[in-house]
């Protein structure tokens, strides 16, 4: 049996600096999932950044 660890970061989209930190963690392999805070006026831009981390759930 394989055990997989999910490491989740909350509040993607809260501030650009938070979103960039989440992306950096995902790209380094230390983060596997994120939740999106969808009421940010700049969310459309930050959602486009997710293309750089297709492995992120």
How many domains does the chain divide into?
A: 1
3 within some domain: no
57 within some domain: no
Q: What pLDDT was estimated at residue 42?
A: 87
CB-neighbour burial class of residue 48 (10 A; exposed 0-12, middle 13-18, buried 19+)? exposed
Q: What is the pLDDT of residues 5-37, one digit of tens each?
A: 999 999 999 999 999 999 999 999 999 999 999
Stretch 28-54: mean pLDDT, rounded? 93
Q: 45 is in which domain, residue-wise?
A: 8-52
Buried b (16+ CB within 10 A) or exposed e, 15-33: eeebbeebbebbeeeebbe
E strand map for 1-57: 8-12, 33-36
């Amino acid at each position: 049996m394989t055990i997989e660890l999910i490491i989740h970061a909350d509040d993607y989209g809260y501030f650009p600096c938070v979103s960039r930190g989440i992306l950096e963690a995902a790209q380094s392999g230390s983060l596997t999932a994120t939740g999106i805070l969808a009421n940010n006026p700049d969310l459309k831009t930050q959602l486009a950044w997710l293309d750089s981390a297709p492995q992120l759930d």
